[in-house]
Amino acid sequence: MASAPRPERVLRLLAGCLPPYPPPPPTVGLLSMEQQETYLELYLDQCAAQDDLAPPRSPLCNPVVPYGMYILNASNPDTAFNSNPEVKETSGDFSSVDLSFLPDEVTQENKDQPVISSRHETEENSESQSPQSRLPSPSEQDIGLGLNSSSLSNSHSQLHPGDTDSVQPSPEKPNSDSLSLAPITPMTPMTPVSECCGIVPQLQNIVSTVNLACKLDLKKIALHAKNAEYNPKRFAAVIMRIREPRTTALIFSSGKMVCTGAKSEEQSRLAARKYARVVQKLGFPARFLDFKIQNMVGSCDVRFPIRLEGLVLTHQQFSSYEPELFPGLIYRMVKPRIVLLIFVSGKVVLTGAKERSEIYEAFENIYPILKGFKKA
């Protein structure tokens, strides 16, 4: 495989920068968790580029790999990432199409470039991403990522030399031409992602909006596009659906579009781009302005029953519990501003987030409280 020699080189180059790690604790739901963490990293790169203000304690402040690294996973048959088939598909779809006419935020464009360019150009990807990359911190989160090397590409796992024995802290310095990871700055050691036995909320639904910036003829779109519904008497928008990523879009004649149903930020963005593409193919000068995630919904299970009556009594100012109206307790967290629906069974639904970090933070805040009301 063409990519095989390169990861090894990356490993050697990076090995010099990283201290050995202790073995990670067992994680629950390995595949899904590492999927989450992949997206964590993607998101983190974005944050890192924007010099975000997340507190150091937050699990999100440990970006690990340049985005480009993940592209290698697509070649690995064991990978369970949803995004990778899409990445492949995207590459297939868009590689022949010049999307540069879709102006966008600069950082996003940087990210998109590696997606479109060949997957095997690891170094180039790393290069373009290097200003954004940071040294992975010796946190268990990262080890957890590295452990699942069957799903991650070799290059990725080799960033966590704790689980491969070929790692030697070698004095090799990265070659600035091929792999400029020189600007890696060491970060302070992080506390683990979650003190709560590695339960990570899964995203279930993302609602985003984008402005196509041109007036649309909804009738024409409805007639020519597949999977489009338009009933002007009922509602003044076209409802379009695509299967991959499985989403639904509402397209208005003003050019504004709402995209719902995606399970991650990248999927939402990708889906929105696909819809924009469809509109564009129909002859409209569609652009891709102001893509914004409006709402994110996550859910998880704390695995123990919760005594809601106790919770509503002690947290009266935040919670309302009317079992005859709704079986769950509605908890309005102030910081971050998230609404949590807490059920007796231990299931928790978090909604109202604009960013993934808010969901994680909210869950971290609520978990110790819920533990206090565990029903034995």
The answer for residues whose C-beta is within 8 angstroms of residue 56's C-beta and 6 or more apart is 188, 190
Q: Which of 31, 260, 315, 369 binds another protein (CB under 8 A)?
A: 260
CA angle 297, 305, 369 (to 5 degrees): 65
Does 245 participate in binding another protein (rule CB under 8 A)?
Answer: no
Count CA atoms within 13 Å of residue 182 on its CB side. 7
Does 239 participate in binding another protein (rule CB under 8 A)?
Answer: yes
Min dist. Cβ of residue 83 to another protein (A): 20
Which segments of the chain are extended strands (E)? Answer: 202-211, 228-230, 237-242, 247-252, 256-262, 289-301, 319-320, 329-333, 338-342, 347-353
Does 80 participate in binding another protein (rule CB under 8 A)?
Answer: no
Cβ(139)–Cβ(193) below 8 Å: yes
DSSP-derived 3-state class of residue 228: strand
Min dist. Cβ of residue 81 to another protein (A): 23
Does 341 participate in binding another protein (rule CB under 8 A)?
Answer: yes
CB burial of 262-272 (b: ≥16 within 10 Å; e: otherwise) equals: bbbbbbbbbbb
Of the candidates 65, 112, 119, which has an alpha carbon nearest to the alpha carbon of residue 270? 112
Min dist. Cβ of residue 247 to another protein (A): 8
Does 305 participate in binding another protein (rule CB under 8 A)?
Answer: yes
Q: Which of 313, 337, 371, 372 binds another protein (CB under 8 A)?
A: 313
Does 26 participate in binding another protein (rule CB under 8 A)?
Answer: no
Of the candidates 176, 181, 137, 194, which has an alpha carbon nearest to the alpha carbon of residue 155? 181
Min dist. Cβ of residue 130 to another protein (A): 38
Does 254 participate in binding another protein (rule CB under 8 A)?
Answer: no
Q: Which of 244, 320, 337, 368 binds another protein (CB under 8 A)?
A: 320
Residue 117 or 204: the one with the smaller Cβ distance to another protein is: 204
DSSP-derived 3-state class of residue 78: coil
List the x/- string, 177-216, binding to another protein by CB under 8 A: ---------------------------xx-x---------
Min dist. Cβ of residue 300 to another protein (A): 14
**Residue 154: count of CB within 10 angstroms of its CB:** 19
The answer for residues whose C-beta is within 8 angstroms of residue 328's C-beta and 6 or more apart is 321, 341, 342, 343, 349
Contact segment (CB under 8 A) with another protein among 191-199, 210-218, 314-322, 363-371 equals: 314-322
Q: Which of 19, 232, 283, 327 binds another protein (CB under 8 A)?
A: 327
Does 312 participate in binding another protein (rule CB under 8 A)?
Answer: yes
